[in-house]
Chains A and B, each alone.
Chain A
């Protein structure tokens, strides 16, 4: 099935159009980070009057809130949670993926339950619990609720189920135990771990409810929380600062995504049909 030239041109054109519609708010967002409040809400004007980066400067110099600190908090929470969740899920995924044992179906049921009853549903008792174990208003308190990811467990269960049997049998006949085999398998599943780690990082970066409840003092706020607080502050807050911070965050995310793009692509293709 080879598409004819006309089809290629037509769909290229339509897809570029769709991509433009999807990207349009972001182009506006970037342009908006150079505007005054008045001009931002004047939807008639698209490009800013002047291209000086005063809002970016105000943002980076911490005029409205401690930008670098919020960024560091966000990074600490998301990176640590993504890393830990990836390893926990891959270890458990190995255990569930490479063979059957009694109780396996139950554990997979637990993973499904973890997905359909996310921690946000019990956010208030979670807050009480975090407080009880002494993690209230600490970055760790925002890390721990996301450690056990049902999505991650199902993902890695399938990943390890897809590994060639011969390899596992060979390792086992050499007398290797499960821990050793797991470590031997790690290089083979590296791109899956990167793919999952990236997804978890993105979700953790944007998490709102749990950090909002757990992180109380200004110094512990994540970037999304700082921005939300800023936008709720008063009408005098320059919205451009929020847009500048968001543009900056988007650029970072897209940069990381770009670096991982081909790895994500292979990992997910292998995952989908194996």
Chain B
């Protein structure tokens, strides 16, 4: 402890160990980000000269109803996907642990498979599921319930749920693997002490187990939020970069893509991507206990 605490001499060894990583971070993350910021303050043009316009593109976005639509969709997507996926992951983790021993490995295998599926194949797979009349969801669930078949990918009310459903399918098993590992590692004595004190299985879970697994759950949650906000694959395979009927499935990523390649130009497209930065930073500040939770232990 004495030696490893704050040392008076500069830790050159550690400096050189950390340097390559941060060098790469600067070269291939900070530089493009800075360039992006600069680019977003230039006038739109695919070729030829541009001039400095300051925050004009951002100001335009504030009055752009499509932008707010995309923003709202992205917000609801992230909210639903994160809560549903984490909930389902907890249920799956509990279910796998309660299943017969020989079944556990194959089960977590099967549930994780969607996370390993190539995005190109997902496009075809989801046409199969969401297809207007003959899709499996309609055949298996909607029609048997006596409802009208839903046109998942063109009915404005169901485009976003289709994207949410797809994301949940993709990540729930993956996250349940992480949650189950955290569950495995819970110290026995604490749980037994809780049981002796008369905690029921339900309150034992929420009062003792869940708080102890919180670092892992938060880690998964953060990952899912970022995935929803910045990943393209999900909406792209379903809607091909468009916003769907009435923009009901328009996300910030797809809006930025549209602006870049079908409309205004790179500068305002970059402004759309970067406009999420303050929101995400705010969210992280709100969850500022996340890094502490992840990093706690050791090095006191």
Q: Quick one: which of B100, B110, B127, B277 contacts A23, CB cutoff 8 A?
A: B110
Stretch of A47-55, A56-64, A142-150 with 4 or more beta carbons under 8 angstroms from chain B: A142-150
A28 contacts B184, CB within 8 Å? no
CB-based contact B28/A98 at 8 Å: no
| Contact assessment for B124 and A239 in the assembled complex, using a CB-CB cutoff below 8 Å | yes
- The reply to whether B297 and A162 form a contact with Cβ atoms under 8 Å apart is yes
| Bound-state Cα–Cα, A29 to B143, Å | 24
Q: Roughly how many angstroms separate A162 CA and B283 CA in the complex, as a whole number?
A: 28
Say whether A194 faces chain B, with CB atoms less than 8 Å apart.
no
| Cβ-based interface call for A274 (8 A) | yes
Residue from A97, A123, A169 within 8 A of B299 (CB atoms): A97
> Nearest chain-A residue to B216 (Cβ)?
A272
A243 CA / B32 CA spacing, docked (Å): 36
Contact B120 A242 (CB under 8 A): yes
Interface residues of B in 253-300 (CB under 8 A from A): 253, 260, 266, 269-270, 273-274, 276-277, 280-281, 283-284, 290-291, 294-295, 297-299
B25 to A, closest residue via Cβ: A148
Would A202 and B116 count as touching, CB distance under 8 A?
yes
Interface centre among B5, B121, B131, B134, by most chain A C-beta atoms within 10 angstroms, is B121
Chain B's closest residue to A32 (CB) is B124
| A contact residues vs B (CB 8 Å cutoff) | 1, 3, 7-9, 11-12, 14-16, 18-20, 22-26, 28-29, 32, 40-44, 88-89, 91-92, 94-102, 107-112, 114-126, 128-129, 144-145, 147-148, 151, 153-154, 157-158, 160-163, 165, 168-169, 172-173, 177-179, 182, 202, 205-206, 208-209, 223-224, 227-228, 231, 239, 242-243, 246, 249-250, 253-254, 257-258, 261, 265, 268-274
> Within the complex, what minimum Cβ distance (angstroms) separates B190 from chain A?
10
B14 lies within 8 A of A108 (CB):
no
Check A161 against B98 for contact (C-beta < 8 Å).
no
Q: Are A129 and B31 in contact (CB under 8 A)?
A: yes
In the assembly, what is the distance between CA of A92 and CA of B98, in Å?
39
Assess whether B4 is in contact with A98, with CB atoms less than 8 Å apart. Answer: yes
Give complex CA distance A273, B99 in Å: 23
A118 partner, pick from B35, B184, B226, beta carbons under 8 A:
B226
Bound-state CA distance A263–B94 (Å) is: 21
Q: Which residues of the other chain, A, contact B105 by a CB distance below 8 angstroms?
A: 261
Partner of B298, one of A15, A23, A163, A178: A163
A121 CB contacts on chain B under 8 angstroms: 33, 36, 230, 273-274, 276-277
Question: Chain A interface mostly helix, strand, loop or mixed?
Answer: helix
Q: Which of B15-23, B54-62, B69-77, B150-158 contacts A (4 or more CB under 8 A)?
A: B15-23
Q: When the two chains form their complex, are residues A157 and B25 in contact, meaning their CB atoms are under 8 A apart?
A: no
CB distance from B8 to the nearest CB of A (A): 11
Least distance between B250 CB and chain A CB atoms (Å)? 17
B182 touches A22 (CB 8 A): no
Residue numbers in A under 8 Å from B110 (CB-CB): 19-20, 22-23
**Is B84 interfacial (CB-CB < 8 Å)?**
no
Can you list 28 A-B pairs with a CB-CB distance of less than 8 A?
Answer: A18-B92, A22-B173, A43-B134, A92-B18, A98-B14, A99-B7, A107-B18, A115-B222, A116-B222, A116-B283, A120-B232, A121-B36, A123-B273, A124-B39, A144-B28, A147-B28, A148-B22, A148-B25, A169-B1, A179-B16, A206-B233, A208-B119, A228-B119, A254-B113, A268-B181, A270-B185, A273-B182, A274-B185
Q: How close is A218's CB to chain B, nearest CB, in angstroms?
A: 16
Q: Are A243 and B139 in contact (CB under 8 A)?
A: no
**Residues of chain B from 99 to 153 with CB closer than 8 A to chain A in the complex:** 99-100, 103, 105-107, 109-121, 123-125, 127-129, 131, 134-136, 139
Task: List, in ascending order, chain A residues with CB within 8 A of B3's CB.
Answer: 169, 172-173
Task: Please report the C-alpha to C-alpha distance between residue A179 and residue B16 in the assembled complex, in whole angstroms.
Answer: 9
A15 touching B99 by the CB < 8 A rule?
yes
Q: Judge if B49 is at the interface, Cβ distance under 8 Å.
A: no
A92 to B23: give the CA distance in the assembly, Å: 11
Q: Which A-chain residue is minimally distant from B94 (CB atoms)?
A: A11
- On chain B, the residues within 8 Å of A265 by CB distance are 181, 184
Q: Is B298 in contact with A161, judged by CB distance below 8 angstroms? A: yes
Question: Which chain A positions have C-beta within 8 A of B239?
Answer: none
Shortest Cβ gap from A110 to chain B (Å): 7
Evaluate contact between B36 and A124: CB separation under 8 angstroms. yes
B266 surroundings in chain A (CB, below 8 A): 124
Q: Is B29 an interface residue (CB 8 A)?
A: yes
Partner of A19, one of B107, B115, B139: B107
Whether B131 lies near A43 (C-beta < 8 A) is: yes
Provide the bound-state CA to CA distance between A19 and B25, in Å: 39
Residues of B within 8 Å of A43, CB to CB, are 128, 131, 134-136, 139
- Cβ B299 vs Cβ A95 within 8 A: no
User: CA A33 – CA B48 in complex, angstroms?
Assistant: 48
Residues of B within 8 A of A24 (CB): 136
User: Which of A89, A124, A153, A162 sits near B270, CB closer than 8 Å?
Assistant: A124
Residues from chain B with Cβ under 8 Å of A15 in the complex: 92, 95-96, 99, 103, 107
Contacts of B297 in A (CB 8 A): 158, 161-162, 274
Most A-side CB within 10 Å, residue of B1, B25, B128? B25
A115 to B154, CA, bound (A): 33
Confirm or deny: B215 has a beta carbon within 8 angstroms of a beta carbon on chain A.
yes
Q: Please tell me if the beta carbons of B95 and A254 are within 8 angstroms of each other in the complex.
A: no
User: A-facing mask of B74-88, CB < 8 A → 1, else 0?
Assistant: 000000000000000
